[in-house]
Amino acid sequence: MSPEAAHPSPDHHPPRKRRSPSRPVRASAKSWLIWLTAAGIYLLAVFHRTSFGVAGLQAADRFGVGVAALGTFTVLQVGVYAAMQIPAGVLVDRYGSRRVLTAALLFLGLGQILLALATSYGLGLAARAVLGFGDALTFVSVLRLIAAHFPGRQYAVVTSFTTALGYVGNLAATVPLTLLLAGPGWTPTFLTVGVVTVLYAVFAIRGIRDAPGEAAPPAVREPVDVKALGRQVAGAWRVPGTRLGFWVHFTTMFAPNVLTMLWGVPYLVQGQGQPKATASALLTVFVFGSMIGGPVVGSIIAGRPSLRMPLVGGYLVGAAAVWALLLGWPGAVPLGVLVPSFAFLSLGGPASMIGFALARDYNPLHRVGTATGVVNVGGFVATTVAALSIGLLLGWTGGNFRIALLAVVVVLALGAVRMLVWWRRTRATLFAAEARGEEIPVRITRRRWDARTPALSPAAA
């Protein structure tokens, strides 16, 4: 049963019988073209985000550092990304996706150009921080654009298409980038992709519109009001559906991130004794699993919104079983077990998109960007905590991956417990909104245990 709740926010008004004009009834061909232009920016962002994965050895030689120092690049970038999600949501609600995506391209290109020219470790870190800043502005902006141009029944599907395109960027950052680094080399390769990214800003300026039928982005007339921005974030956080989306994202997407961005290859090579080439190939299971699973999950929840939380629950139960199998297997885990295990864990990315659907459905359109940013913080906070914890445990245990990866299990359990709490609370709030005669996005069946969970008032939420 889906636990979604209507948004009991201070600016929530009783729904009208007709559709709100702020929500599109159907998407036009122009809206699809606008989305494709914006999704191209997300593809570039994912390419830049994951490009360091295959450039690690070259980076170690170029900057004269060891493996531990290289891990700082990933942690720094993920940390900047997570820290910027709520500000990014506020920015896109205030200035629109067009402006924010254009700025994202400029920061992404600048970061990669700096990396191309950097010869010191400090400048390399600064370049990745700039790149992480630009990356942080992209996904929230694209989702806000989808919310404005597409009706609710298409939101999950179009979002899944967006993430699938992002994985194309991930693929481009593997073998093709490896060949370029081995051929033209570090500086020509990263300099070229940086310049191409900056030039793509021309397409963003000309091709993106914040709302259907808009000739130009609206001017922002009011000065920045920090207190108002704080109320915007607080209003999104008070919505139980937003809080539930945060914990859904926290729990589902961090494990695939931890393995593909940092600890997957060391686990397979040092912990499982796999050759490095085999380890790299095994990580592509996450890419293809997410590319296939994203549209499938999106189509299912678009047609049956009530299945959103059962899908999340099923994934978490399966993920717990997979980690029990991997960590409890005596000796090296065979490829026949690793491949299906990684394929199942890869579905965490598609499942995490359900958190964004919650943010879209249970917040007014003017606050969707902020709510999406709040939700997106969850998975990257979990990624940062788990990645750092694994590193610390590896140091304390002398490289014992069986113990170190227990950090993933602990984070998974914490997220599942908090998600269960907000699942029950949002169900209760949904029933209370229905009793008041308000329109609700999804109808669910009341269970006996629902009566024992009080609904939250806006202030208490």
186: amino acid identity, one letter: W
The Cα–Cα gap between 262 and 440 comes to 41
The Cα–Cα gap between 298 and 311 comes to 11
Considering the domain boundaries, does residue 246 fall inside one? Answer: yes
**419 and 446 housed in the same domain:** yes
**438 and 341 housed in the same domain:** yes
Tokens standing for residue 225: 């009001």
**419 and 292 housed in the same domain:** yes
**232 and 154 housed in the same domain:** no
Nearest to 13 by CA among 460, 376, 459, 458: 458
Q: Which domain CATH number covers 167?
A: 1.20.1250.20
Could you give the angle at which helices 138-149 and 29-50 cross, rounded to 10 degrees?
Answer: 170
Tokens standing for residue 328: 């409890």
pLDDT at 43: 94
**265 and 119 housed in the same domain:** no
Q: Is the dihedral of CA 27, 32, 37, 39 positive or negative?
A: positive
pLDDT at 3: 46
pLDDT at 251: 96
The Cα–Cα gap between 32 and 176 comes to 28
The answer to whether the beta carbons of residues 122 and 11 sit under 8 Å apart is no
Task: Name the helix (H) or strand (E) containing 22.
Answer: none
Nearest to 246 by CA among 159, 79, 373: 373
Q: Final residue of a domain: which of 143, 177, 211?
A: 211
Considering the domain boundaries, does residue 376 fall inside one? Answer: yes
**159 and 289 housed in the same domain:** no
**54 and 123 housed in the same domain:** yes
Contacts of 458 (CB under 8 A, 6+ apart): 8, 9, 10, 12, 238
Contacts of 46 (CB under 8 A, 6+ apart): 166, 167, 169, 170, 173
**CB-count exposure of residue 292 (10 Å: 0-12, 13-18, 19+):** middle
pLDDT at 392: 86
Considering the domain boundaries, does residue 96 fall inside one? Answer: yes
Considering the domain boundaries, does residue 223 fall inside one? Answer: no
pLDDT at 100: 95
The Cα–Cα gap between 365 and 23 comes to 8
Residue 300 CA, distance from chain mean position: 19
Task: Name the helix (H) or strand (E) containing 430.
Answer: helix 406-435
Q: What is the DSSP letter of 267?
A: I
Considering the domain boundaries, does residue 216 fall inside one? Answer: no
- For the chain, which residues score pLDDT lower than 70? 1-25, 53-54, 56-57, 67-68, 71, 213-225, 433-434, 437-461
**276 and 341 housed in the same domain:** yes
Q: Concatenated DSSP letters for 49-107?
A: HHGGGTSHHHHHHHHT--HHHHHHHHHHHHHHHHHHHHHHHHHHHHH-HHHHHHHHHHH
Number of domains comprising the chain = 2
The Cα–Cα gap between 267 and 348 comes to 19
Q: What is the DSSP letter of 331?
A: S
Give the domain extent around 142. 25-211
Considering the domain boundaries, does residue 222 fall inside one? Answer: no
